[in-house]
């Protein structure tokens, strides 16, 4: 019964989107929708304002310095791409019920976290066009380890 099958792309039902580009439709405002989603779905583990999470593994999401090799990496001090935040929330969060947020909610909470890190303004709207254009503070601090292997 089960043999190999040519795949109609339209029939692909896998939930999470891959790719550095945020091609997913939707939009999110940090100050209003994003704060609400964060309070309802994220703060229990990550704490108020992304700073004082107490759940194991749910480290801070905001601020901090890369001042030692074991420094805690946050969205503000380390991530090179804003789309990484969007992609991981969309595929993996909330930890206890991943892939239950709508695209609008994912954009909104991504915007909220970027605003908390003072990377965007509190009223900046994030969508498939604006999110990839956000330049992360740490963008230029990466070294490709083995370029000949790419």
Residue ranges binding other proteins (CB under 8 A): 2-9, 12, 14-16, 18-21, 55-57, 66-71, 73, 78-81, 83-84, 87-88, 91-92, 95-96, 98-99, 141-146, 149-150
Q: How far is CA 139 from the centre of its chain?
A: 15
What's the length of the chain? 150
Residue closer to other proteins by CB (options 29, 75) is 75
Angle at 121 between CA 33 and CA 115, to 5 degrees: 60
Residue closer to other proteins by CB (options 37, 61) is 61
Closest CA to 74 of 24, 118, 12: 118
Residue closer to other proteins by CB (options 63, 80) is 80
Q: Which residues of 102-112 are buried (b: 16+ CB within 10 A; e: fewer)?
A: ebbbbbbbbbb
Residue closer to other proteins by CB (options 16, 39) is 16
CB of 141 to other proteins, least distance (A): 5
CB of 61 to other proteins, least distance (A): 11
CB of 53 to other proteins, least distance (A): 12
User: What distance in Å separates the CA atoms of residue 25 and residue 148, rounded to the nearest whole number?
Assistant: 35
Biggest CA-to-CA distance, the chain: 57
CB of 15 to other proteins, least distance (A): 7
Residue closer to other proteins by CB (options 29, 101) is 101
Does residue 86 contact residue 109 with C-beta atoms inside 8 Å? no
CB of 7 to other proteins, least distance (A): 4
């Amino acid at each position: 019964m089960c043999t190999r099958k040519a795949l109609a792309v339209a029939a692909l039902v896998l939930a999470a989107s891959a790719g550095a580009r945020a091609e997913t439709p939707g939009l999110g405002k940090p100050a209003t929708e994003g704060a609400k989603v964060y309070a309802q779905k994220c703060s229990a583990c990550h704490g108020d304002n992304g700073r004082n999470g107490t759940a194991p593994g749910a480290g801070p999401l905001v601020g901090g310095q890369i001042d030692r090799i074991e420094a805690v990496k946050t969205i503000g001090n380390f991530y090179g791409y804003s789309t990484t935040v969007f992609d991981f929330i969309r595929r993996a969060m909330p930890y206890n019920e991943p892939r239950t947020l709508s695209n609008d909610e994912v954009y909104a909470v991504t915007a909220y976290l970027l605003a908390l890190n003072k990377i965007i303004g509190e009223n900046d709207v994030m969508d498939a066009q604006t999110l990839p254009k956000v330049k992360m503070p740490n963008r230029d601090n990466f070294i490709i380890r083995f370029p000949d292997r790419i």
